[in-house]
Structure 1
């Protein structure tokens, strides 16, 4: 027995009958409806948010078009079995340079050549090692000669592809 019930038992007047409260009166249930103003505001906010997200996705898609184009070009170069290594290297380096000009400041990229260009490629993307092919690139691009039998076209292609996809 609780303290409150003991208090009531001692202090209740014996001549007054105990209080009968009866059944609890519950209000009628509120019907659920989407017709209220809050739902309309929420709907408008969600629509605006979805439109904004779609717009941002579209801008991102358009911004990365140069990557998709470069990937398609370098894949086409790799699939051309008749293309000699000299042209493959020259065209690949041209694609890499054009791609770099799209995403890095022109002042810092356009003037790069030779060892500085190779160092830039290695510095801007980890897990690539263009300096391994430094001499082959220099001979192909600047001297228009190629005489290395140890050149791994597939590895150079994969490095170029990785750099284009993940450079920035």
Structure 2
């Protein structure tokens, strides 16, 4: 026999040995491949962050133009001549994002066609934006609330959607 038959329960419990647990697994990578993967991930993260920051900086002129459009919209009433302000704002915005040689000399129908081509719409040649073709060169006329809303919507859409830096526009 083993000699444990005559022992009481507290004596048996006292003879038990504690279970030994293994050391916890380390979370630190053990191979150089993990270090290389971490380095590559950090480089990718840095490149994506840099690209997003550059894009944010490059689109500053869009944010400023949209803020100016909101101000024009806020100030526009039935007796104001917002088409001249919108025409000037679109010209300045286009000059900020396209080469001066491609934009500065445009006027009338060619200016409207340029605006339409840059964002893929027809709001300027065939829509509410056509009033800006000659607005800076003629005495201002009153726009209806519907015409003003259409013009401001077309201008807002152009500022948001045009392809900046399109050198062949």
Gap regions ≥5 residues in structure 2:
1-24, 164-169
Q: 1:26-65 counterparts in 2 under 5 A? A: 34-65=29-60
| Counterpart-to-counterpart distance in 2, 1:124 and 1:67 | 14
8 Å CA contact 2:79, 2:142 repeated in 1: no
| Counterpart-to-counterpart distance in 1, 2:98 and 2:72 | 24
The equivalent residue for 2:166 is none
Alignment counterpart, residue 114 of structure 1, candidates 108, 111, 115: 108
8 Å CA contact 1:90, 1:137 repeated in 2: yes
Alignment counterpart, residue 71 of structure 2, candidates 65, 76, 92: 76
Secondary structure, aligned partner of 1:144: coil
Deviation at 1:134, TM superposition (A): 6.9
Gap regions ≥5 residues in structure 1:
1-30
Give every structure 1 segment of 4 or more consecutive aligned residues whose post-TM-superposition deviation is greater than 3 Å: 81-85, 132-136, 147-151
The equivalent residue for 2:139 is 144
Deviation at 1:34, TM superposition (A): 1.0
| Counterpart-to-counterpart distance in 2, 1:128 and 1:100 | 17
Radius of gyration: which is bigger? 1
Do structure 1's residue 91 and structure 2's residue 85 form an aligned pair? yes
What RMSD over aligned residues (CA atoms) do the two structures have, in Å? 2.4
Length, aligned pairs only: 137
The equivalent residue for 1:156 is 151
